[in-house]
Structures are given as structure tokens and as C-alpha cells.
């Protein structure tokens, strides 16, 4: 059996066993309630044999349910231990590969071109719906302008990138006024003002180890206003297609549980998740706890000046 088959099978088992033993807590409570009723009213009868037997059976069943619940926990822990053991090996390999890799512009372009049209349409729709002219927007390492164009109302709009080729592409698609007066570029996230309302990070985490993903999410969290959001895409190796992309060396290993668990540990709330193309492409909207507030009452006014 291949590594892909093993991990995929373990993930399926984990999902099948996710609710194992969960119902027993309610059952124990129900049996305890019935025990109290039988024990109370049996005193009113001279012939208590059936009552006594029912009480005895109740205690036996309650004890078995408690044992079932405890053993169910051990089974799920055993499954998780085996999965984590497999994951550790892949994650360690990914860290080594990440530290040694050289990413050329051609590879960035190929990665960008491989995003499915259906997923691009989904992301553009999401960005359009959650971007707000009252708050600053930010795009992390854009390859072109297609997602930036959905955030033009953001004031101001930031780009974090040290790739001059991609920055020029973005600027070329915008008019001179916006490119020079409204669009602001930074080389590193930590240089951003701490006033972000929405950050978009598309097709980045798929090619980053888990701790590197966490570093980006943590830095953005620090620069995001309470109530602000972050749109991320990520690799979910619980999906067979994503797992195969990873084991072929095209992506880095992660799962929905790992990436969103990392986000939650930083402080983000997970507002919504979406998936397309049979699990190949996945995205999530994260939100910093709190409410967004702005003193802006209208969008910036722009004066059109005719060129001579």
C-alpha cells in the first residue's frame, strides 16, 4: 500500500470514528434519571423484585456506558497518534525542502495559472462581498492584479511583496492615479500599519510548511483591527486529490484541521470555509475577535483631470 493510500485510509477511519462514544454522555444522564425514579417509587411496593432487578441492570448499563465512552476516547487517541506519526515524517521532509528550494518566477507563474477558474470565481466573489471601503485592505505576494481589482475600494490598499516583476504587473493593470497615489507596497508584513480590515493570502500556504503559515497568520493578526478578516487558501490533505499533489512534490503537507487549528491557536475565529474541484482548492475566512469601527462617513473623492 502506498503512503498516499495509508494516510488517506487513516483519514477516512478518523472521520468515521469522530463521533465514536459521544452519545454515551447523554445516555448515562438518561439512565441516572431513570434510576432515581425507579429507586424512589420501589419503596411503595411490597413485591420489589422487578424494581430491584431494574435498578441492578441500570447500574450495570451505566457502568458499561462509562467504560465504552472511556475506551472510545482511547481508540480515537490511538488513531490520532498513528496519523500524527505519519504526518511528522512528511512535515519534516517539507521543512527541509522549503529551506533548500529556489522559487523562480516561472514556477510562481505556473502555480498561479494552475488555480482553477471555478476557484478564482469563488475567491473574487468572496473578496467582493467582504471588502469594505471604510478599512484598509492588503494582498500578500500577488502574482497579478485579478484579486487586487476586487479590493480597489479599500482605502488604503497595501501590497506585501519583494517581487518587482509582480509589483510591476499589478501597477500596469491600474490607472496611473491609483497606482501612484492609492496603492502602497511593503517588502515585509511587519512594516504594515496596524489598521488592516481585510487581508487576502491566495495560493501561498499550499507551498509553505505549517509553522511558516502560522508565522504569516500571526503577523497579520497583529496588524489587523478587531473584527478584521483574513482570507486564506490552504492545502487539505484529508482530500485525496490534495494529498496526491503533496506526495508528488507539488505542494506542502497540511490539512484543514492543522491549518485552521494553527489559526485558532493564534486567536483567529474561523468564520467560513469553502472547497472546490473535489478538494483540490480550499479557502477559509478568518476573523479577529471584536467589532470593526470606522470614523469614515464616505468614500474618498477623486477628481478627474483631463490630460493635455
pLDDT of 302 above 60: no
The pLDDT of residue 112 is 94
Domain ranges in the chain? 3-100, 108-287
The pLDDT of residue 249 is 83
pTM exceeds cut of 0.85: no
Closest CA to 147 of 172, 168, 167, 128: 128
β-bridge partners, 91: none
Closest CA to 20 of 91, 93, 76, 82: 76
- CATH architecture type of domain 3-100: Orthogonal Bundle (1.10)
**DSSP 8-class letter at 299:** P
What CA–CA distance (Å, rounded) separates 38 from 33? 9
Overall average pLDDT of the 129-157 stretch: 91
The pLDDT of residue 162 is 94
Burial of 203 (0-12, 13-18, 19+ CB in 10 A): buried
| CA separation, residue 41 to residues 31, 59, 160 (Å) | 16, 17, 73
The pLDDT of residue 307 is 47
pLDDT of 1 above 60: no
Closest CA to 116 of 276, 246, 284, 285: 276
> Strand 183-186 vs strand 157-160: parallel, antiparallel, or unpaired?
parallel
The pLDDT of residue 4 is 58
CATH fold, domain 108-287, is: Rossmann fold (3.40.50)
Q: Which helix (H) or strand (E) holds 91?
A: helix 49-100
Amino acid at each position: 500500500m502506498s503512503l498516499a493510500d495509508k494516510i488517506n485510509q487513516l483519514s477516512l477511519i478518523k472521520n468515521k470514528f469522530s463521533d465514536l462514544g459521544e452519545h454515551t454522555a447523554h445516555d448515562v444522564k438518561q439512565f441516572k434519571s431513570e434510576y432515581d425514579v425507579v429507586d424512589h417509587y420501589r419503596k411503595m411496593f411490597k413485591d420489589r423484585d422487578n424494581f430491584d432487578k431494574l435498578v441492578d441492570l441500570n447500574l450495570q448499563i451505566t457502568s458499561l456506558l462509562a467504560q465504552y465512552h472511556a475506551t472510545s476516547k482511547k481508540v480515537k487517541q490511538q488513531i490520532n497518534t498513528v496519523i500524527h506519526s505519519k504526518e511528522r515524517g512528511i512535515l519534516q521532509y517539507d521543512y527541509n525542502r522549503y529551506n533548500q528550494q529556489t522559487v523562480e518566477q516561472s514556477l510562481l507563474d505556473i502555480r498561479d495559472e494552475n488555480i482553477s477558474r471555478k476557484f478564482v470565481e469563488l475567491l473574487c466573489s468572496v473578496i467582493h462581498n467582504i471588502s469594505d471601503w471604510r478599512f484598509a485592505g492588503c494582498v500578500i505576494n500577488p502574482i497579478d492584479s485579478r484579486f487586487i481589482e476586487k479590493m480597489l475600494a479599500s482605502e488604503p490598499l497595501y501590497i506585501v511583496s519583494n517581487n518587482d516583476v509582480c509589483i510591476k504587473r499589478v501597477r500596469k493593470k491600474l490607472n496611473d492615479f491609483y497606482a501612484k497615489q492609492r496603492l502602497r507596497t511593503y517588502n515585509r508584513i511587519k512594516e504594515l500599519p496596524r489598521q488592516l480590515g481585510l487581508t487576502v493570502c491566495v495560493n501561498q500556504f499550499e507551498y509553505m510548511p505549517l509553522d511558516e503559515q502560522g508565522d504569516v497568520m500571526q503577523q497579520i493578526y497583529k496588524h489587523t483591527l478587531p473584527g478584521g478578516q483574513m482570507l486564506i487558501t490552504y492545502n487539505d490533505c484529508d482530500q485525496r486529490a490534495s494529498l496526491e499533489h503533496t506526495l508528488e512534490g507539488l505542494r506542502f503537507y497540511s490539512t484543514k484541521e492543522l491549518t485552521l487549528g494553527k489559526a485558532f491557536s493564534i486567536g483567529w475565529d474561523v468564520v467560513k470555509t469553502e472547497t472546490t474541484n473535489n478538494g483540490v482548492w480550499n479557502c477559509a475566512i478568518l476573523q479577529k475577535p471584536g467589532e470593526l469601527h470606522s470614523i469614515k462617513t464616505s468614500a474618498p473623492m477623486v477628481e478627474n483631470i483631463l490630460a493635455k
